[in-house]
Amino acid sequence: MSSQVTCRVADRIANPRGDDSALAEQRAVIAALEAQLWTGGTLDAALLPSYQAAFRRLEQLRRAPCHKFIIVIAVADRPQHLQACLGSLLEQCQAFGYGGMEHGAWRNIAVLIADDSRKASSIAWHGELARYFTRQGLVTHHCGPDEQLELLQSTPAAELARILGAGAPDAEGNFGHKGQAVMRNIAHLKLKEMAAREAGQPLLFYSVDSDQEFKVKVATSQGDKEVCAVNFFHYLDEIFSRTDAEVLTGKVVGDPPVSPAVMAGNFLADVTAFLQQMAESSPDDACRHHLADTHAEGEAAYHDMADLFGFRAAATAYRYHCTLTGTHAEADCFAHFANRLGSFFYGEHPTRVSHYVYSGAPDTVQPARTVYVGNYVFRPSGLRYFIPFATLRLRMSGPTLGRIVKAEIGARFVSANLPMLHKRTVHSTGQAEFRPGVQATAGAIDLHDEFERQFHGDVMLFAIERLTAAGFPLQAPTPAVIAATLDAVRAEMQKKYNAQHADILAKLGRLRTLLHDPAHWWNRDAAQAATVEACQVFVANATRNFGENSPCYARINAPESWEKWRSGLLAAIVGYPADSAAWRAMLA
């Protein structure tokens, strides 16, 4: 943590806002309750209602103006996810009472739905959700395709094409599925318009994903709980009031924020370990998968190449934690786990779910380098940071943006322990409502599009990391230097990915042998046929995407594919300074 930020946090604790005695006493009550709530790092759920009530009392006593938040939610054909996200936001408001209510609406919370849907039914559903939650007191604006096109008409389309896309419907008349980066950049235009109407009150923009909720996942002796236990708005208000931070990023708990493309190795190891444990049991034995694990979920525990980000990969497999309740046997646990396997291809990692670990949010403020685009907050001045290289539709756009922001504002780009709950799939189906780059046909899943965007997103990220270390974007290197950097990073990433492929092939072989061993009880009992079939479908899809004849690896190794991607990456980086200048001129 920088000394500047540390001093400001300490000053806030010693003299928060110059409060009067009643406010100071109430803050002391909250601090004491918070310490008890998380004694020993474990949530005492019985204290949660009192903790929430203490914040509501604080809001009644508050006199000084606090920040107003505009939450911008990018969504594409995900009405169920969006409903859960907005429902959790309303619950957050009701639980903690941030800013209070006026005329039946939450005074300092507003929502912008940035709709990138293609289905007319989804657009209509999202609009109805906006109206419903507005009636509940959560003022929500639905920005659909027609309004987006109107916003784009006021911009210099040609100069901003790499930021805002084509600015027109496709040949079929659709203006959806432009990609999260383009959609977020278009939403910035609406945020600029909304900010102009909020003069006189400090304002913050809060970018979230539709598959996230304003809750945290905690591990308890009774299993995982999803709870409204973090007062996001209060602590963000405190941090932005007491520091000069311009951009702040949180993270996520629950499902990983990355693609299956970079989790397959770890997951195959965990599935194999699970089957080995099952082979040592009998189907009628009591389930043994509720035992405490020796692993603590850490940074990038789910990532096959965690070392790329400075983290140490786990040396051993992770144990699956059964989520069934009541009395049940090993065969029941096996069947339940087998039916969850397919969710991996939509972004779940059932063996490496991450949990919230408490630490006071203001005390965790530190310089950052990665933006989680589904959980970051910025002042209106931060509108100048669009999602870079948007039309390439690369994964890792947030970390790439983070390197650029860090290069420009240094310690004013911070992170804090304010993670949101991330849920990749809908409980009823085990699949995502919509996930770009994942094609499913009759049970066969194809990840090659997402895989390519992940690989070249990694190339872009680490190329930008090297270029920013040399002064980019404030100092533009020559195209030749940029091209050489891209070639060098691509060669390194290719070597990493191919080494991981070899590891995955070996793990797939071990898993197949274990699954099909006729000596194991699941292959000798007709009652287990459905469980075995679910495992076989998983192995088939893993083989299709990561096996010896994988189209994913074929594409990232093909010279002609690299030539196409290289030209796009190079043009985007070379053009970034001009894109940034045009964007800032438009904002001005």
- Count, residues in the chain: 588
Nearest to 333 by CA among 280, 272, 270, 290: 290
pLDDT for 12: 40
Within 10 angstroms of residue 444's Cβ, the number of other Cβ atoms is: 12
Are 344 and 260 in contact by the 8 Å Cβ rule? The answer is yes
Are 489 and 427 in contact by the 8 Å Cβ rule? The answer is no
Angstrom distance (rounded) from CA 389 to CA 162: 6
The DSSP bridge partners found for residue 73 are 113, 208
Does domain 20-241+374-384 match CATH 3.90.550?
Answer: yes
Residues 6+ away with beta carbon under 8 Å from 380: 191, 192, 195, 203, 205
Q: In a structure prediction context, what are the per-residue pLDDT tens digits for the chain, which is 588 residues long?
A: 444 443 443 344 344 445 689 999 999 999 999 999 999 889 999 999 999 999 999 999 988 889 999 999 999 999 999 999 999 999 999 999 999 999 999 999 999 999 999 999 999 999 999 999 999 999 999 999 999 999 999 888 789 999 999 989 988 889 999 999 999 999 999 999 999 988 778 999 999 999 999 999 998 877 889 999 999 999 999 999 999 999 999 999 999 999 999 999 999 999 999 999 999 999 999 999 987 665 554 567 889 888 888 777 777 889 999 999 999 999 999 999 999 999 999 999 999 989 999 999 999 999 999 999 999 999 999 999 999 999 999 999 999 999 999 999 999 999 999 999 999 999 878 888 888 888 888 889 999 999 999 999 999 999 999 999 999 999 989 999 999 999 999 999 999 999 999 999 999 999 999 999 999 999 999 999 999 999 999 999 999 999 999 999 999 999 999 999 999 999 999 999 999 999 999 998
User: Taking the domains of the chain in order of start, what are their residue ranges?
Assistant: 20-241+374-384, 260-354+429-587
- Pairing label, strands 413-415, 366-367: antiparallel
Angstrom distance (rounded) from CA 110 to CA 506: 51
Angstrom distance (rounded) from CA 36 to CA 42: 10
pLDDT for 157: 79
pLDDT for 6: 38
Residues 6+ away with beta carbon under 8 Å from 396: 454, 457, 458, 460, 461
Angstrom distance (rounded) from CA 291 to CA 301: 19
Angstrom distance (rounded) from CA 90 to CA 81: 14
For residue 335, which amino acid is it?
A
Residue 153 is given by DSSP the state H
Are 308 and 503 in contact by the 8 Å Cβ rule? The answer is no
Coil, strand or helix: which one is 534? Answer: helix
Nearest to 445 by CA among 306, 269, 264, 317: 264
pLDDT for 158: 86
Angstrom distance (rounded) from CA 293 to CA 301: 14
pLDDT for 55: 97
Residue 377 token pair: 């907050």
Angstrom distance (rounded) from CA 360 to CA 362: 6
Cα distances (Å, whole numbers) of residue 483 to 200, 462, 540, 563, 566: 47, 13, 38, 11, 8
Angstrom distance (rounded) from CA 494 to CA 41: 41
